[in-house]
A = this chain, B = another copy of it.
Amino acid sequence: MAFSYGNRLKLSIFGQSHSAAIGVTCEGLPAGVRIDFDALSAFMARRAPGRNLTTPRSEKDAPVFLSGVTDGVTNGAPLTAVIYNENTRSKDYSELKIKPRPGHSDYPAAVKFDGHNDIAGGGQFSARLTAPLCIIGGIVIEILKRQGIEICAHIVNIGGAGDPPFDPVNEERALFADIKQNNIAVYDDAAAEKISAAVEQVRAAGDSIGGIVECKIVGLPVGLGNGGFGGLDGKIASAIFGVPAVKGIDFGAGFSAGYLRGSENNDEYYFDENGNVKTYTNRAGGIVGGMSNGMPVIFRTAFKPTPSIAKAQRTVNLATGQNDTLVIHGRHDPCVVLRAVPVVEAAAAIAVYDALPEH
């Protein structure tokens, strides 16, 4: 099923950009977890538009819990939370039904669903559906934090600017807190300014821009994941490819490992002062044989630029059967990467939680 993920923690996301509501149903959260609504709101706010450089559209993404929570505590029943959409259906999307937008889901969705797909705002393919992902992700992040597991993503590239990579072997938990407080998810203030300038320039040009997000997970027990298709890397990749606009993922040395020798890429082991097994380096990104090895898990995710741009573009007219031209109106997000950072954290948290054994 396309909009479902997980085994231990099974979530099903639903909604279209302009349906009455978007939301998520989740089975597998333990009963008795007090939900920290303030932490959840703060987490959701990092994804919400209007916070900084992104789309001027106003969205109030306050989740409403329909089930699974009694007096703020999970009760063991499936948890369903929704975000009601406001001002839906206000616009005429009929042109897009016949003139698919380059880079968008419009054309294959029209073929797949024989024209019955909801095209308004991107329908079920909208990045808006990352909001329900963040509801569950935010709850899971808090649960993981109580177990000593922390997750933080930051921007390593937008328009050539971005943070340096995370330290691959040390934990940097304090740095995580810094990044999460910033409007732009970097710890390097100079990078923030450059990113801000790059995005403004792109917005002024009616264009958009992609980027690369790096994510680090610390505090994992050894042995999460498995061989075969059950690797922790594969589980994370599955969750991350559920985020719109993702075009690639790699772990540790990643694509660079394709240029290394074994003697350069292997991470040698040692006992640290506490008797824990560590590696001197972390080119594996914390995962060998599909399993966590106790070092930080580090991966990078590539986001393409939003396909909605102001420039006139060539497309086909499915009604006339002729080549045509499309101008997309309205104001759009010049860079989804800024808002995608907590979404990456949410997806990673869900994948990790799903890989954890039950207590």
B227 in contact with A237 (CB, 8 Å): no
Question: Which residues of A (244-284) have their CB < 8 Å from a CB of B?
Answer: 244, 246-271, 275, 277, 279-280, 283-284
Chain A, residues 283-303, CB within 8 Å of chain B (1/0): the string is: 111001111111000001011
Interface size of A as a range: 35 or more
B305 in contact with A257 (CB, 8 Å): yes
- A75 on interface, CB distance cutoff 8 Å: yes
Question: Which residues on B sit within 8 Å (CB–CB) of A117?
Answer: 31, 75-77
A124 in contact with B78 (CB, 8 Å): yes
B234 in contact with A241 (CB, 8 Å): yes
A210 in contact with B260 (CB, 8 Å): yes
B67 in contact with A16 (CB, 8 Å): yes
Residue of B nearest to A7 (CB): B7
How many copies of this chain?
4
Question: Which residues of A (1-29) have their CB < 8 Å from a CB of B?
Answer: 1-5, 7, 10, 12-16, 19-23, 25, 27-28
Q: How far does the alpha carbon of A108 sit from the alpha carbon of B220 in the complex, in Å?
A: 12
Residue of B nearest to A9 (CB): B1
Contact of A3 among B74, B228, B263, B288 (CB under 8 A): B228
Beyond A250-B248, A255-B302, A291-B109, is A271–B227 a contact (Cβ under 8 Å)?
A: no
Stretch at the interface among A43-51, A98-106, A164-172: A98-106
- A160 on interface, CB distance cutoff 8 Å: yes
Q: How far does the alpha carbon of A352 sit from the alpha carbon of B100 in the complex, in Å?
A: 24
B265 in contact with A66 (CB, 8 Å): no
Beyond A238-B238, A304-B257, A304-B260, is A70–B12 a contact (Cβ under 8 Å)?
A: no
B118 in contact with A323 (CB, 8 Å): no
- A54 on interface, CB distance cutoff 8 Å: no
Question: Which residues on B sit within 8 Å (CB–CB) of A7?
Answer: 7
- A233 on interface, CB distance cutoff 8 Å: yes
Question: Which residues on B sit within 8 Å (CB–CB) of A32?
Answer: 113-114, 116
B305 in contact with A262 (CB, 8 Å): yes
Question: Which residues on B sit within 8 Å (CB–CB) of A277?
Answer: 107, 316
> Would you list 9 pairs from A and B whose C-beta atoms are within 8 A, ordered by A residue?
A2-B226, A3-B226, A15-B66, A23-B67, A66-B82, A108-B223, A129-B227, A237-B237, A247-B258
Instruction: List 6 additional contacts besides A75-B118, A234-B238, A238-B238; criterion CB under 8 Å.
Output: A10-B12, A78-B124, A109-B289, A113-B223, A207-B262, A210-B261
5 closest A-B pairs by beta carbon, nearest first, are A105-B289, A2-B230, A248-B250, A112-B223, A234-B241
